[in-house]
Chain A
Amino acid sequence: MSKKLIKDPLNIIISGVGGQGNILATELLASALVEKGYFATVGETYGASQRGGSVMSHVRISAATEYGVLIPLQQADIIVSFEPTDTLRVARDYANKSTLIITDSRPNYPLGVLIGEAQYPPVEAIEAELKKLSGQVQIIEATNLALKAGNSQATNILLMGALTALPSVPIDIDDYERILEQRFSGQVLEMNRKVLKIGYEQVK
């Protein structure tokens, strides 16, 4: 089965916190798309790049032409996010009524929360607002699933597995797996393959 590009350009945002492997997962996704013959561009925003800062990657996919690396505001078709408050921050700027959101529900507490100056909102409240802002929200316990599979660092690839299961994304899980095989070997490859499949199976 081969999926087609039903919207051109298709705009995907992958967001999270520094150190979660966002840049790598996105690069592998876009490489898989280029291998399939699509124009794919990636814009990475990671500021000072220390762990703890927000990291956001924009992916733009077209069958016809190259697009600039940044997605215009409110024009993300899909948002995949590793951290609930970051999901909401990104959705406020980039979601519209047809955006599809996939997010992990595990909080990564910012400094202000750790020192007690700010409150981390309830994840249910975040989910409720995400539902208002977008067309569809799916929560995946990605970090917990990756931890259970043996390595929390593989959360990024697990979420990519979920992404490949979406009908609007014009690659299949096998296409992503092929790129994983190009880049990894041994135990790391096996772990990534395993979580990719787990992620894929989470999408309803």
Chain B
Amino acid sequence: MEWMITANEPGKTYLMQGNEAISRGALEAGIRFAAAYPGSPSSEILTMLGHVADEMEIYAEWSTNETCALEACLGASFAGIRSLCVMKQNGLLVVGDALHSASLSGVKGGLVLVVADDPSAHSSTNEFDSRHQSRSAAVPMLEPANMQEAKEMVRWGFELSEQLQQLVMVRTVTRINHGRSSVTLGEIPQHKQVPAVIGEWDRLVAINWFKDAQIAKIEQARTIFEESPFNWYNGPGNPDMMIITCGTGWLYGVEAVKALGVKDSVGILKIGTTWPLPEEFIVKHLVRTKKVLVVEEVDPFLEQNIANIIAYHSELNIELTGRHGQKIIPRNGELTPDVVRNALVNMTGTTFQGPEVTHIPFEEAVPLPPRELTFCAGCPHRASFFLLKQSLRIHEGRGVVMGDIGCYTMGGQRAGHFLFNFLSCMGAGISAAEGLGQLTRFGFDQPVVALAGDSTFFHTCMPALVNAKFHNSNMLFVILDNSATAMTGFQPHPGIGLTAMGKTAEPISIQKVVEAIGCPVTVADPFDIASTTEIVYRLLKQPGLKVLILKQECATLAVRKRKKAKVWVDYDLCRGDECGCGRFCSRVWGCPGNIWDYEAGKAKIDEVVCVGCGVCVSLCPAGAIKIEGGEAGE
């Protein structure tokens, strides 16, 4: 919450979300610039900084993509301004070239890049370990083990960045970003940085001449990390076994040692500076044991870099275990207290006595329907996928649908009638469709449809659209414009006309951008199912590149702005199972607001869930669904 991250109450302890702690840490460092692209679990950070920007006299922006964000921060840093950049793990891969180049040029004002990994991919297409990028780009990396440390590391990261003249990365995971714990506040500096003059001979240039300087900086970081208070050992002097851990693994490790009662034989070495590793500090502890279990999120990064250290130190005789080889900790999926405790049981040969549990045989257990993700009640994507399915079905030859990343990714599942044939990273749908659409010359005759949302359009689809237009690929590009980056929590983007700081700005019209590239474009309302289906059908028959914008505001946003219409079923008109529609409204349409009244044998509207969009009113073959009142959308 905003009041917590700006409160002038040094020493006061609040329950803070990891993302709040990170925002607070940046403000305690006196940042004046922040840029990010939304991505779970990192999105709350820039949202909050945007909200407090005026009060704290900082600038905050939702950049068009992650590369724009990092390079904007680099620009501000060139004038000596402390800058915070935030993204999720997939974004870090988008930003790979910018990161490796920035590391070569170095920085002036402190630049901290917070990257939020999502182990088990709770809200991502894939899990990925950002630490490889820190090693590859020779950028120092800090990894907090709790919310307090997240705040301290971000704050100190700016000092380190200025000391080294290098950017610094802070890697968090979902359990830190979206976890909450007690955080004690520090001071927010009263002094506000002013931009330095960039002189005629000042340079920030990325070229291989600076490779030696880059190497010297990472070695200097290693020396600093040897004494870092973020690294510590807790346990017996000569433990039978040592857990070496970083991030969330620390508290899980502490709990496992306690649960198994092995604190007299197992020590814990907690590392907060995961790249470059403080080699002397680690060796100093390794000489005191023979057996090591490495506990970390996603890849065996710490483990294999410790293996490297062991390889260079012949005095060490260590049995090293962790995620490598999947022997003790699974290679895939996030850490849990159970995973860590089971690993320790395995390593120490102890047993765990848990609470008494009733085991219910499978045959006696109540069968539970799975709770699949679905589009919200009233979501325009439901209408878009329904009408695309209809038009592709009536079209001769099966259409190929290339998906993309956003709420509409669920269109690849039941919610969207399993419509996707292809799904990769952001912007991949239209690019791959371009290639497929070129195969017409070799006899490929299936209609090709690429889908992308409005935020994704700005993020990575624009160069792909230029490519598709210039090479006149045979394809239909459908932009699902719901006026929101809905998936990550409704952050504004350039098409909306609102900045992260809540200021109005001239919106950039997607339609005009598409037209300027020279593409014919049609704009239609997905809620007008009959005529929009007709439009899609007609467009699919035309050769060359076609663009269709399906425009209808995100239901969750719309419901906040307008008075809700009342939707109900007229039981005299609903013919129930006699109708022949096969319970169309609940079974086919699949909106959570359309349920079935089993007692009456009729359709029903769940008044708690329904948002009053009224699309089902137009779809009911018996005209039994009625709508009354409410306000129309823009």
A52 contacts B371, CB within 8 Å?
Answer: yes
Interface check A202, CB cutoff 8 A: no
With contacts A66-B181, A85-B368 known, is A34 near B376, CB below 8 A?
Answer: no
Distance (whole angstroms) from the CB of B268 to the closest CB of chain A: 13
Which residue on chain A has the smallest CB distance to residue B177?
A44
Cα-based distance from A147 to B606 in the complex (angstroms) = 13
Please tell me which one of the listed residues A33, A44, A70, A92 contacts residue B336 in the complex, with CB atoms under 8 A apart: A70
B373 touches A47 (CB 8 A): yes
Q: Are A44 and B356 in contact (CB under 8 A)?
A: no
**Residue among B181, B371, B375, B588 making CB contact with A85, cutoff 8 Å:** B371
B93 in the interface (beta carbon within 8 A)? no
Q: How many pairs of residues, A versus B, come closer than 8 Å at their CB atoms?
A: 187
**B40 and A49 contact, CB distance less than 8 A:** yes
Which residues on the B side are within 8 Å of A30 (C-beta)?
15, 180
Contacts of A89 in B (CB 8 A): 368, 371
Per-residue contact bits, chain A 106-149, to B (CB 8 Å; 1 contact, 0 not): 00111111111011110001100100110000000001000100
* B374 and A52 contacting across the interface, CB-CB below 8 Å: yes
**Cα distance A51–B251 in the bound complex, in angstroms:** 31
Q: Is the CB of B357 within 8 A of A116?
A: no
Query: Are B355 and A98 neighbours in the complex by a CB distance under 8 Å?
Result: yes
A48 and B592 in contact, given A88-B368, A112-B369, A121-B367 (Cβ under 8 angstroms): no
A92 to B357, CA, bound (A): 10
The answer to whether B122 touches A53, judged by C-beta atoms less than 8 angstroms apart, is: no
Q: Is the CB of A52 within 8 A of B595?
A: no
What bracket does the count of chain B residues touching chain A fall in?
Answer: 35 or more
Check if A133 sits within 8 Å of B358, measured CB to CB.
Answer: yes
Most buried by A among B146, B180, B259, B415: B180
The answer to whether B590 and A48 have CB atoms under 8 Å apart is no
Q: For chain B residues 17-48, which have a beta carbon within 8 Å of chain A?
A: 17, 40
Residues on the A chain within 8 Å of B355, using CB = 74-75, 96-98
Q: Which of B178, B180, B366, B592 contacts A109 (CB 8 A)?
A: B592
Instruction: State whether the Cβ of A43 lies closer than 8 Å to any Cβ in chain B.
Output: yes
What separation, in Å, do the CA atoms of A41 and B252 have in the docked complex? 13
Q: Which chain B residue has the least Cβ–Cβ distance from A69? A: B179
Across the interface, name the chain B residue whose C-beta is closest to A183. Answer: B1
Query: Distance (Å) between the CB of B118 and the closest chain A CB?
Result: 10
Contact A116 B583 (CB under 8 A): yes
Whether B358 contacts A115 by the Cβ 8 Å rule is no
Given contacts A72-B337, A121-B366, contact A41 B179 (CB under 8 A): yes
Interface assignment of A45: CB less than 8 Å from any CB of chain B = yes
The verdict on B370 contacting chain A, using a C-beta distance below 8 Å, is yes
Interface assignment of A152: CB less than 8 Å from any CB of chain B: yes
Q: In the complex the two chains form, is B354's CB within 8 Å of A114's CB? A: no
CB distance A110 to B371 under 8 Å? yes
CA distance A98 to B355 in the complex (A): 8
Specify the chain B residue showing the minimal Cβ separation from A147. B608
Q: Are A70 and B373 in contact (CB under 8 A)?
A: no
Assuming the A-B contacts A42-B179, A42-B181, A121-B366, are A34 and B15 also in contact, with contact meaning beta carbons closer than 8 angstroms in the complex?
A: yes
CB contacts under 8 Å to B, within A19-40, are 19, 27, 30-31, 33-34, 39-40
CB <8 Å contact, A74 and B590: no
> By the criterion CB–CB under 8 Å, are B179 and A43 in contact?
yes
Residues of B near A92 (CB, < 8 A) are: 360, 365
A120 and B583 CA atoms in complex are apart in Å by 17
Binary interface encoding of chain B residues 38-74 relative to chain A, with 1 for a CB under 8 A from any of its CBs, else 0: 0010000000000000000000000000000000000
CB distance from A36 to the nearest CB of B (A): 11
Establish whether residues A70 and B175, one from each chain, have CB atoms under 8 Å apart when the complex forms.
yes
Q: Which residues of B contact A19 (CB under 8 A)?
A: 376
Instruction: Collect the chain B residues with CB atoms within 8 Å of residue A41's CB.
Output: 179-181
Q: Specify which of A40, A67, A152 is in contact with B15 (CB 8 Å cutoff).
A: A40
The answer to whether B354 touches A75 (Cβ under 8 A) is: yes
A165, CB-defined interface residue at 8 Å: no
CB atoms of A53 and B373 under 8 A apart: yes
B604-624 interface (Cβ within 8 A of A) = 606, 608-609
Given contacts A75-B355, A112-B414, A133-B358, 19 further A-B contacts (CB under 8 A): A30-B15, A41-B180, A43-B179, A48-B373, A51-B377, A53-B371, A66-B251, A68-B248, A69-B251, A70-B175, A72-B255, A74-B354, A74-B355, A75-B354, A86-B371, A97-B358, A98-B356, A116-B586, A152-B608
Per CB-CB distance, the 9 closest pairs between chain A and chain B, nearest first, are A68-B251, A118-B369, A96-B355, A42-B180, A69-B179, A52-B374, A34-B15, A72-B337, A41-B181
A-B contact pairs, 5 of them (CB 8 A): A43-B175, A49-B489, A52-B376, A70-B175, A118-B370
Binding site for B on A (CB under 8 A): 17, 19, 27, 30-31, 33-34, 39-54, 66-75, 85-86, 88-89, 92, 95-98, 108-116, 118-121, 125-126, 129, 132-133, 143, 147, 152
